[in-house]
Amino acid sequence: MFPARRGIYLVSLIQAALCAVQFQHPNDLPGVQYDFVVVGGGNAGAVVATRLGGNRDFKVLVIEAGPSNDAVFATQVPGLAQNVSGLPLVEWNYTTVAQTHAGGKADAYGRAMLLGGCTSHNELVYTRGSRDDYDRWASVVGDENLSWDKLLPYILKAEKWSSPNDPNLSEEGHFDPSVHGLDGKLQTSAPYNPHPLNDLLLETTKELSDEFPFLLDLNDGRPIGIGWQQNTIGKGVRSSSATGYLSSTGDNVHVLLNTRVTRILPTTYGGTDIRTVEFATDPKGPTYNSTATKEVIISGGVINTPQILLNSGIGPKEELAAVGIASIVDNPGIGKNFSDQSAISTLFSTNLPSDAFDQTAALAEWSKSHTGRLADPPHMSSLGWVRLPADANPFKDGSPDPTGGPNSPHVELFFYNVRPPPDGVDNGPGNTSLLTIVVNLNPVSRGSITLAPGSSPFDAPVIDPNLLASPLDTAILLEGIRSAQRLFSSKAFSGRMFGTALPPSNATDAAVVDFIQQNTTPFLHGVGSCGMGPRNANWGAVDPDFKVKGAKGLRIVDASIFPYVTSGHTQAAVYAIAEWASEIIKESWNQ
């Protein structure tokens, strides 16, 4: 009716018809000069490419090692998360080096190799962490823009709250609508599995409210207590950076799949202007290259970003010399300060009903209506967050508080579906074991990502989270296990918990510490391997504007830049910093 409106309507129709153009092989690429090349189409990379591509004048190329998420059906189905993360074909198949302080064992270190990165295979938990986490980032790197108050608009910009599909499972009272975004590209919701554990935990929040208060919304900036999960799920379907972001771009965003970035190269001989990206599809095949006219953004994730930079001669000079790589930029922060949350799995024997369900029927239901057990993630629907008091055992020796501040939990309790008891635990017929993962959210230990001598860009780097190197990390896990034992000894759980538990509730501290040291694993929330530091400081891999120190034309945007991990699962924070980085990259080109 109104010509102006009609114009807008037509434009939006045209935009809706477009989406990122995918190429399966470097030979298929059109001969386009790109303004930006984004290395890795994962969590952060897909966000940055989409936001830069929001300017239709920018031509953006994303290079992703894996296939499209569309090629893997299970990426869509929340309850099949583990069917994706267990698929070797879309996995980097990484293993850590032997963890000397954690039983001497080498642990699997899952990382997704497909479009959307870890957001296409993760367990869909949506947690922002605490406001202190971001305020600590801001103070450590000397840039207010990273504080909670300044980043919150970008957290909200990413998010689109979107209810679950099942009208029988009301979300009311499970979250606080006032702290959520409604217009973003990443869909979130609070679906749940109606299992009796939910109510028992809620009853316990009344009974043991000092240690386990009820938490209405774990994303309000102060995640302490027990509350309902929120997930990156919209209407029963996984929402990822691939489905939410890349699927909404114009055809000025190109995605090259199945292609490994091997190195980044100086654009002029001997220079530090590094805008040329080298890539290949197999170790023996030809290499290709593309030079961005504006910038290269590395978003390969916490393991691969430092690997790509080190292979390119960007990193600690002496260390690179020792593995035979010529130094281009001496940047001592690349590959250092890698850390991950340490996690210990405990078992509690219960007489709660089994949560086993008919997979075939559930898949049929999901396919029909996006409801049922496969419309929510493969774990229980509550989460526990415990802040230890200042006089708790771990701090009695004067150890400083490892969290960002008083709004931050030290420990997470992550409950897995009640399952038949594992071998060696006999609960009697019909009884089940409740797997509770106790997580030390703010580890003090620091490890590294380095290159093995003589390795090629197609080989895995050396991955060392150095779990439990600091005794404080072990002490916090011990206290976390004691906390879980207190939780399950509430009146609400009496008559529900019995028999054997791992570790047993009467185990001495020394025995529990031994259990921790033998069985702790990384929680797969690695950060820090290209950590951000203050401008002009002699440490830190990148400046607060995400630019690689010592190089031009090169930024890093992914979990590797986090100076400290957030006190929670990491994807929400990756979305937030990717939104913020996109903003300042666009600004720097005056757009």
Ligand X SMILES: *[C@@H]1O[C@H](CO)[C@@H](O)[C@H](O)[C@H]1NC(C)=O
Ligand Y SMILES: Cc1cc2nc3c(=O)[nH]c(=O)nc-3n(C[C@H](O)[C@H](O)[C@H](O)COP(=O)(O)OP(=O)(O)OC[C@H]3O[C@@H](n4cnc5c(N)ncnc54)[C@H](O)[C@@H]3O)c2cc1C
Active site residues: 525, 569
CA–CA separation, 140 and 540 (whole Å): 10
Q: Which residue type sits at 162?
A: S
Question: Applying CB under 6 A, does 351 fall inside the site for ligand X?
Answer: yes
Mark the segment that binds ligand X (CB under 6 A) among 236-244, 318-326, 461-469, 497-505.
497-505
Binding mask 445-484 for ligand X (x = CB under 6 A): ----------------------------------------
Residue 343 pairs in a beta bridge with: 439, 521
To the nearest whole angstrom, how small is the minimum distance from the Cβ of residue 83 to ligand Y?
Answer: 12
Question: Applying CB under 6 A, does 118 fall inside the site for ligand Y?
Answer: yes
Question: Applying CB under 6 A, does 498 fall inside the site for ligand X?
Answer: yes
The token pair that represents 55 in the structure block: 């300017």
Residue indicated by tokens 């190197």: 469
Residue indicated by tokens 């936001």: 51
332 three-state secondary structure: coil
Task: Please name the residues in contact with 87: beta carbons below 8 A apart, sequence gap of 6 or more.
Answer: 72, 74, 121
Binding mask 67-96 for ligand Y (x = CB under 6 A): ------------------x-----------
Residue 132: in which H helix or E strand, if any? helix 131-141
Question: Applying CB under 6 A, does 520 fall inside the site for ligand Y?
Answer: no
Binding mask 260-289 for ligand X (x = CB under 6 A): -----x----------x------------x
124 is in an annotated binding site: yes
474 three-state secondary structure: helix
Residue 64 interacts, among ligand Y, ligand X, none and using kind-specific CB cut-offs from 5 to 8 Å, with ligand Y
58-95 b/e (C-beta count within 10 Å ≥ 16 → b): bbbbbbbbbbbbbebebbbbbbbbebbbebeebbbeee
To the nearest whole angstrom, how small is the minimum distance from the Cβ of residue 7 to ligand X?
Answer: 34
Q: Which residue type sits at 427?
A: N
Q: How many residues does the chain have?
A: 591
Binding mask 232-271 for ligand Y (x = CB under 6 A): ----------------------------xx----------
CA–CA separation, 212 and 483 (whole Å): 9
* CA 247 to each of CA 17, 165, 235: distance values in angstroms, whole numbers, following the listed order: 10, 22, 17
To the nearest whole angstrom, how small is the minimum distance from the Cβ of residue 369 to ligand X?
Answer: 6
Among 38, 52, 65, 481, binds ligand Y (CB under 6 A): 65
Nearer to ligand Y, 256 or 347 (CB): 256
CA–CA separation, 303 and 476 (whole Å): 26
Picking from 460, 524, 441, the residue whose alpha carbon sits closest to that of residue 117 is 524
80 is in an annotated binding site: no
Say if residue 536 is exposed, middle or buried (CB neighbours under 10 Å; 0-12, 13-18, 19+). exposed
Q: Considering only residues 12-51, where is the footprint of ligand Y by CB under 6 A?
A: 39-45
Among 48, 52, 72, 113, binds ligand Y (CB under 6 A): 113
Question: Applying CB under 6 A, does 495 fall inside the site for ligand X?
Answer: no
What residue ranges bind ligand Y (CB under 6 A)? 39-45, 63-66, 85, 110-113, 117-119, 122-125, 260-261, 299-302, 304, 308, 524-525, 558-559, 569-572, 574
Annotated binding site for FAD: 122-125, 261
